[in-house]
C-alpha cells in the first residue's frame, strides 16, 4: 500500500506533512520533521525581517483543539531559505515548501524576489490568511486584494506557487473566490488556515486563555474538521483540475486523513495534533491511513481521491 502523492509535478513518498506554523520555526524543529515519516516540510510563514510575534501566552490546547495568536513570530525569510538550501544539498531529489507572508502586495513581491535570487528549487506557499496580526484583516476575505496580489505575483513569479486560504462558510463565497483563483496558474490551494478570531474561556478562572487581542485567536484541531472538509470539497468542485488541493484542518487519526483525500486533497497537513504529539504523529497517521486503505482494498490514494459520494 502506497501513500505516495505529487504536488506541482514533484513526487512525495507520503501524503502527510506539517501545516505551516507548527514544528517549523527553528532549524531544530525542521530537522525533527525531516527525520520523521512526514512527506516533507513547510517552513513557518516568513516575513522580510524577523519578528518576535505577540506576547505570551499565545498558544493553548483545549479539549477539542487549540487557540493561537502567535502573531507571526519567525526568523525572517533569509533564515528559512538558508535552511532549505542546505536541505536541498543534503537530500537531492526531495522537495520542500517555504511559506511567505507580506503585509501588503509590495512586501509579497519583495519576498518573491528574494526567493528568486536564492537557489530555492521547491514550492512557495503564499499565506493569505494570517488571522492574528492586530489591526490587519485576513487577506483571503478581501477578494479584490486577493485579485491584486495574484496579478502582481504571477507577473513576476512563474515557479510553483500555492496559496493558504482562510475557511469560507458560504457557497456564494466559494463561487466568487474560485472564479478569481481559476484565472491564475496556481499550483495548489491549501484549505484551511485556522478559524480566525475564536474565543476560548477558562470558566474556573473566569478568563480568556491567551494574552494577545483580549483572548481572540485562530481555532485549530477537531473543531475545524467539518469546515476544512467542506472547503476542500467545495474547491475541488470549483477549481480547474490543474489547481491541486492541500487539505488542512482537524486531522487526529488516519480516517481523518482518508476523509480529506476523499474530499479531494492531494496532500494533507497537520497542525494542532502535531503540536500536541510531536513528530511521532506522522508515523502513527501514516500507519492508520494505510490500515483504512487496506481494509477498503485501496493500493494508492488516487483510487479514492475526490471520490466522495453525495446522496
Ligand atoms: O503566526 C500566527 O499567529 C498565525 C499565522 Br501567520 C497563521 O497563518 N495562522 C495562525 O493560526 N496563526
Question: What is the rounded CA–CA span in Å between residue 219 and residue 194?
Answer: 5
pLDDT above 90 covers a percentage of the chain that reads 98
Per-residue confidence (pLDDT) for residue 131, from 0 to 100: 87
Q: Kindly give, in sequence order, each residue whose CB lies less than 8 Å from that of residue 260, ignoring residues fewer than 6 positions away.
A: 228, 229, 232, 247, 251, 268
Q: Is the pLDDT of residue 310 over 90?
A: yes
Kind and range of the H or E run holding 125: strand 123-127
Ligand 1 in reach of 193 Cβ (< 6 A): yes
Ligand 1 in reach of 71 Cβ (< 6 A): yes
Average pLDDT over residues 218-239: 98
Does the N-terminal peptide bond of residue 195 adopt cis geometry, omega within 30 degrees of 0? no
Region at 72 (left for phi over 0; alpha for psi -120 to 50; beta for the rest): left
Average pLDDT over residues 64-68: 98
Q: Whose CA is nearest to atom 5 of ligand 1?
A: 130
Please tell me the chain's helix, strand, coil percentages from 3-state DSSP, rounded to the nearest 5: 40, 20, 40
- 0.80 cut: is pTM over it? yes
pLDDT digits (tens, 9 = 90+) for 233-244: 999 999 999 999
Per-residue confidence (pLDDT) for residue 133, from 0 to 100: 86
pLDDT digits (tens, 9 = 90+) for 173-218: 999 999 999 999 999 999 999 999 999 999 999 999 999 999 999 9
Per-residue confidence (pLDDT) for residue 216, from 0 to 100: 98
Question: What is the rounded CA–CA span in Å between residue 24 and residue 21?
Answer: 6
Q: Per the annotation, does 44 bind a ligand?
A: yes
Tell me whether residue 130 is one of the annotated catalytic residues. Answer: yes
Q: What is the DSSP letter of 74?
A: B
Question: What is the rounded CA–CA span in Å between residue 294 and residue 22?
Answer: 30
Instruction: Round the average pLDDT of the chain to a whole number and report it.
Output: 98
- CATH code given to domain 5-53+72-194+222-303: 3.20.20.70
Domain extents for the chain?
5-53+72-194+222-303
Per-residue confidence (pLDDT) for residue 134, from 0 to 100: 83
Q: Phi and psi for 83 in degrees, rounded to 5?
A: -60, -45
pLDDT digits (tens, 9 = 90+) for 90-144: 999 999 999 999 999 999 999 999 999 999 999 999 999 998 988 888 999 999 9
Amino acid at each position: 500500500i502506497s501513500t505516495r502523492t505529487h504536488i506541482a509535478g514533484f513526487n512525495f513518498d507520503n501524503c502527510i506533512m506539517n501545516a505551516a506554523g507548527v514544528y517549523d520555526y527553528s532549524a531544530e524543529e525542521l530537522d525533527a520533521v525531516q527525520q520523521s515519516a512526514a512527506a516533507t516540510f513547510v517552513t513557518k510563514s516568513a516575513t522580510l525581517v524577523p519578528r518576535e510575534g505577540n506576547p505570551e501566552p499565545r498558544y493553548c490546547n483545549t479539549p477539542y483543539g487549540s487557540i493561537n495568536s502567535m502573531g507571526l513570530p519567525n526568523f525572517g525569510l533569509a533564515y528559512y531559505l538558508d535552511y532549505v538550501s542546505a536541505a536541498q544539498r543534503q537530500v537531492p531529489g526531495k522537495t520542500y515548501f517555504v511559506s511567505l507572508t507580506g503585509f501588503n502586495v509590495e512586501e509579497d513581491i519583495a519576498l518573491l524576489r528574494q526567493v528568486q535570487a536564492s537557489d530555492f528549487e521547491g514550492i512557495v506557499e503564499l499565506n493569505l490568511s494570517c488571522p492574528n496580526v492586530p489591526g490587519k484583516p485576513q487577506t483571503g476575505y478581501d477578494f479584490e486584494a486577493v485579485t491584486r496580489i495574484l496579478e502582481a505575483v504571477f507577473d513576476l513569479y512563474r515557479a510553483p506557487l500555492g496559496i493558504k486560504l482562510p475557511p469560507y462558510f458560504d457557497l456564494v463565497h466559494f463561487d466568487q473566490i474560485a472564479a478569481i483563483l481559476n484565472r491564475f496558474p496556481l499550483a495548489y490551494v491549501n484549505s484551511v488556515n485556522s478559524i480566525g478570531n475564536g474565543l476560548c474561556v477558562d470558566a474556573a478562572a473566569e478568563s480568556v486563555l491567551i494574552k494577545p487581542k483580549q483572548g481572540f485567536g485562530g481555532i485549530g484541531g477537531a473543531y475545524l474538521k467539518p469546515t476544512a472538509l467542506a472547503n476542500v470539497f467545495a474547491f475541488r468542485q470549483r477549481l480547474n483540475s490543474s489547481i491541486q488541493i492541500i487539505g488542512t484542518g482537524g486531522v487526529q487519526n488516519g480516517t481523518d486523513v482518508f476523509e480529506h483525500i476523499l474530499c479531494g486533497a492531494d496532500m494533507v497537513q497537520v497542525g494542532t495534533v502535531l503540536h500536541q504529539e510531536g513528530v511521532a504523529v506522522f508515523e502513527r497517521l501514516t500507519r492508520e491511513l494505510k490500515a483504512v486503505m487496506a481494509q477498503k482494498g485501496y493500493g494508492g490514494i488516487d483510487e479514492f481521491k475526490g471520490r466522495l459520494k453525495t446522496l
